[in-house]
Chain A
């Protein structure tokens, strides 16, 4: 069965610092991978997705993610975080025509 692992439950970074959120997947020769963000009291918003092609994917709000098949990873990065980036981040894999989400990483930004 497909699964998505987000090893970090909670990460704290300083405003202006760089960010990397980890995601590992375990399904499919050609995974369809997504990163979503969920702000308090709101639904999930798609940041970016990877289907094929260039392994470095650009998304909204200055985020990017890199697909590494050899490591089964799809880590999310941002060079400089803003206080408004504080939220819950979910990695997801679309397999068997169904989105399977990781357990999420909560991001806290300190001034």
Chain B
């Protein structure tokens, strides 16, 4: 079974530029999550999709971050404009459903904002 795929693996941008990350979840997984992991901290949930609908985006900085999951499969997370404090690893995860199911994580995208 293929795991959660993410690209790119690394990205370096200057502040005020925009960036987009892509995630392909495990086939058949209805729920998709985006996490932000700042160095030295645990992952923090940014947004959760159930199929192509948003379940929870309470911790997403909506003035600069946006995410979509068209057709309930792939997802993209965008930052525009980026700030220095956005430097982090962005993890995508997926699960069969929401309630307590194991979340399978991708390898992450390491973003450096200079």
Chain A residues touching B, majority SS: strand
Does A103 contact B45, Cβ atoms closer than 8 Å? no
| Docked-complex contact B107 and A42, CB < 8 angstroms | yes
Mostly, the B contact residues are: loop
Per the 8 Å Cβ criterion, residues 42-67 of A in contact with B are: 42-46, 49, 51
Complex alpha-carbon distance, A43 and B50, angstroms: 21
Residue contact A43 to B4, C-beta cutoff 8 Å: yes
B56 located at the interface, meaning its Cβ lies under 8 Å from any Cβ of chain A in the complex? yes
Determine if B45 and A98 form an interchain contact, defined as CB atoms under 8 angstroms apart. yes
Query: Which of B41, B45, B55 makes the CB contact (< 8 A) with A99?
Result: B45
Interface status of B76 (Cβ within 8 A of chain A): no
Q: Is the CB of B100 within 8 A of A44?
A: no
Contact yes or no, A51 B100, CB < 8 A:
yes
CB-defined interface of B81-100 with A at 8 Å, one 1/0 digit per residue? 00000000001010000111
Q: Which of B44-88 contact A (CB under 8 A)?
A: 44-45, 48, 55-56
**Contacts from B to A (Cβ < 8 Å):** 3-4, 33, 40-45, 48, 55-56, 91, 93, 98-100, 102-103, 105-108
